[in-house]
Amino acid sequence: MQINWFTVIAQIINFLVLVWLMKKYLYKPILQAVDEREKKIAAELTDAKTKKNEAKKEQDEFQKKNDTFDSHKKKMMDQATSDTEKERQKLLDQAHKEAADLKLKLEKASKDLQENLNDQLAQQTQQTVFSITKKALAEMASTTLEEQTVQVFVKKIKAINDKDKKQFLKDFHSSSSPISVKSAFDLSDKDQKSIKSAIGSILGDEGKYNFETDSKMISGIELATNSYKLSWSFTAYINSLEKSMETEKNDTRQTVKQ
C-alpha cells in the first residue's frame, strides 16, 4: 500500500492546528477557570480562616470580659455582704450600748427615786420627831425648845477642845469676814447675846457676827468661819438614829440569809 504523504502531512497539520486551537480556546480558559476557582477557594478558605480566628478572638475577649464581670460581681457581692455584716454588727453594738445606757439610766432613776423617798421619809420623820420633842419639852419645862437649843449650843461652844479652839482662833484672825451663825428659828436679842458672849470667851474680844435664819435646818444652830464649823441640831441625832436602824436592819438580813 502506498502512503500518501500529502494526506499524512495534512492530517498532522490539522491535528496540530486542532491542538493549538483546543489549547488556546479550550484548555487554557479551562485551566484559567480552574486556577481562578482554586484561587477563589483558597481566598475563601483564607477569609474563612481569618473570620474564624477573629471569631475565636472575639469569643476569647467575650469570655475574658465575662470572667472579669463575674469576678467583679463576686467582689461586689462579697463587699456588699461584708458591709452588710459590719452594719448589722454596728447596729447590734449600738442597740446593746443603748440598752446598757437605758439600764443604767433606769437603775440611776430607781436609785434617785429611792434616795428621794428616803430623804422625804427622813424629813417627815425629823419633822415629826421635832414636833413631838418640842411639844414634850414645852410641857415638861418652863422654857421653850428654842431656848433649850440655844443653851445646849452655848454649852457646846464653851466645851470646845484645845485643838478646835486653836483652829477657830487661827481662822478667825486670818479672815476679815464676820462669823456666820445660822439657826432654824429667829434668835432673840438675848439668845444672840448669849452666843456672842460664849464665842467672846474664846476669841477674847468682840467679833463681827452675821445671824441668819435657815428654814431647812431642824431645831439647830450652826457657827461657821472660812474653814471652821461648829453645829448642833436634832438632824444629826436623827441621822445617827437612822444609820443605826439601817445597820441593825442589814445585820438582821445577813442573819436571816445565814
Average pLDDT over residues 218-223: 78
Rounded Cα–Cα distance for residues 199 and 143 (Å): 23
Average pLDDT over residues 184-197: 86
Rounded Cα–Cα distance for residues 20 and 225 (Å): 152
User: Which stretches of 16-133 are assigned E, i.e. beta strand?
Assistant: none
Q: In the chain, what are the helix, strand and coil shares in percent, each to the nearest 5?
A: 80, 10, 15
Query: Is the model more confident about 94 or about 226?
Result: 94
Strands 179-183 and 209-213: parallel
Q: What is the per-residue pLDDT for 15?
A: 85
pLDDT in tens, 49-90: 888 888 888 888 888 888 888 888 888 888 888 888 888 888
- Its pTM stands at 0.40
Q: What is the per-residue pLDDT for 140?
A: 41
Of the chain, the end-to-end C-alpha distance in Å amounts to: 163
pLDDT in tens, 132-185: 655 554 444 445 677 788 888 888 888 888 888 888 878 777 777 788 888 888
**Position 103 pLDDT exceeds 80:** yes
Average pLDDT over residues 11-26: 82
**Position 214 pLDDT exceeds 50:** yes
- Other Cβ atoms closer than 10 A to 120: 10
Confidence of residue 129 (pLDDT cuts 50, 70, 90): low
Rounded Cα–Cα distance for residues 64 and 70 (Å): 10
